[in-house]
Amino acid sequence: MKNKNAETQGSALNIEQNGINVIDESERKGSPKSLFWPWFAANIAVLSVSYGAWTLEMGINAQQAIIATTIGIIVAFLLVGFVSLAGKRGSAPTMILSRSAFGVNGNRVPAVISWLICVGWETILVVLSTLAVATVFKEMHWASGNMTKIIAFLVVIAIIVGVAVLGFDAIMNFQKWLTIILGIATIVYFILCAHLINFSLLTTMKPGNFAGMIGAAILVITGLGMSWINSAADYSRYIPRKASSKGVVGWNTFGGALAPVILVIFGILLVASQKGNVTSAFATNISADPIGTLASVLPTWYLLPFTLVAVISLVSGAVLDIYSSGLALLAIGLPVKRWIGTCLDGIIMFFGTIYILWFASSDFFSLFEAFLFAVGVPIAGWSGIFLAELVIRKKDYDEKALFDAKGRYGSVNWVSLLGMIVASIVGFGFMTSTVSGFTWQGYLFNSFLPKAVWGYSNLGVFIALLIGFIVPFFNIKAIRKQEA
């Protein structure tokens, strides 16, 4: 299905005219290696260091945290890599390819959830960027107050929406340069903070239980990997179908996992050391102001470069989020061009950020974050179904049927849709939250696992993923009939 309105592609300054259509063979370009750049740049955010503090709150020691988070991050981005493979096979956005599993109209449900996740994360990243600039400028006695926040907020919004509106080529070029800049700046941060790590103290930490390790792994899977899985094919759909499938999965996984593994391990070592400027309050402060707290251990001369790097890294992730949220909006059924959908999401992000920064209660950010992790349960169920279908299907996607409710994929696939609902219900039964306004106690824990031990492991995400993966195997005959 060639986009009849497509303009000349290939320039980062041209607005991409492709939307949710299947990319024409003549427009497919690049190689699996090119996927390294957007995923590395989007995940080298210094914010990942904060996860080191959060994983230690699970009651485990540094060694356990390092093992759990390393495995969790690699597994999460391996799943992202497999979804990227679908993009190469189908040359369409993730939430369009998902129609093969849920039906053209039934897929609106996961598309709405995907849109909520993308809009939620891009808003949080803008909030964090604005707070980071305001905090560091105040520390340097340059400026403070609302005017600083307003200027930082407007600049960040303009960059994110501007690059996302231009589209795929602009994003790939933008992320490539950011990869180099952010990589160098992060190494400098490591060097400046390395003296705060006390390895002798790390060996004195008492080990925690296995449930704590599972909780740490699921935390990084949900926060650093699962948040990308619903948009992975959006950036591989331009890859030629003859390209190496192993290369697509491998470069996607390597690009996405490399930086978070290093950053989270460094965060674990930094927080666990409890030395120098890093005190017991360090981990607590990270939850309230991640970027500002991480900057507090730096010499004054590096505060400004660090802030710029931290903000740029957050902007990098937000660019991918808003690009995918625009595509998800179109997949839901909004009849507009891709760049218009992106602008609409930008408006929502604009007002959402204003509300959080200037009007929300002090605990709203924690409430919003809890909401994002909650929608991680149904998206985990969707992920399992999508990945199992990818394994089961032997043939490429029927391009026309992805846009025709009367085609082979039908209007609604009730097996998949009900399977996702069941996976979500069971998954929520193994989730807990104590955030004010979003209190949730897992109603299945005491029946199967002791809540005192497993209550804060977020086990529901893994269970929803597992149930979702099983569902399509009850529908193999229907899948084979579609392919015939």
pLDDT digits (tens, 9 = 90+) for 92-137: 999 999 999 999 999 999 999 999 999 988 998 888 888 877 777 7
Q: What is the mean pLDDT of residues 207-228?
A: 89
Report if pTM > 0.85: yes
pLDDT value for 11: 54
Alpha-carbon span 153 to 150, nearest angstrom: 5
Indicate if the pLDDT at residue 469 is higher than 90. Answer: yes
Mean pLDDT of 273-282: 56
**What pLDDT is stored for residue 14 in this prediction?**
81
Mean pLDDT across 147-154: 84
Tell me the average pLDDT across 290-319: 81
Residues 6+ apart with CB under 8 A from 215: 58, 456, 457, 458, 459
Least confident of 225-239, 303-317, 356-370: 356-370
**CA-to-CA distance for 42 and 476, rounded, in angstroms?**
36
pLDDT the model gives residue 3: 44
Reading the block at residue 21, the tokens are 């259509």
Quote the tokens at residue 127: 């909030």
Q: How confident is the model at residue 12 (pLDDT cuts 50, 70, 90)?
A: low
Q: Please, which pLDDT band fits residue 275 given cuts at 50, 70 and 90?
A: very low
The percent of residues in the chain predicted with pLDDT above 90, rounded, is: 47
| pLDDT in the model for residue 13 | 67
Instruction: Note whether 42 and 257 are within 8 A (CB).
Output: no
CA 470, distance to chain mean position in Å, is 24
pLDDT at 1: 42
Who has greater pLDDT, 54 or 389? 389
Residue 61 pLDDT > 60 = yes
pLDDT of 197 over the 60 cut: yes
pLDDT at 278: 47
30: left (phi over 0), alpha (psi -120 to 50) or beta: left
Mean pLDDT across the chain: 86
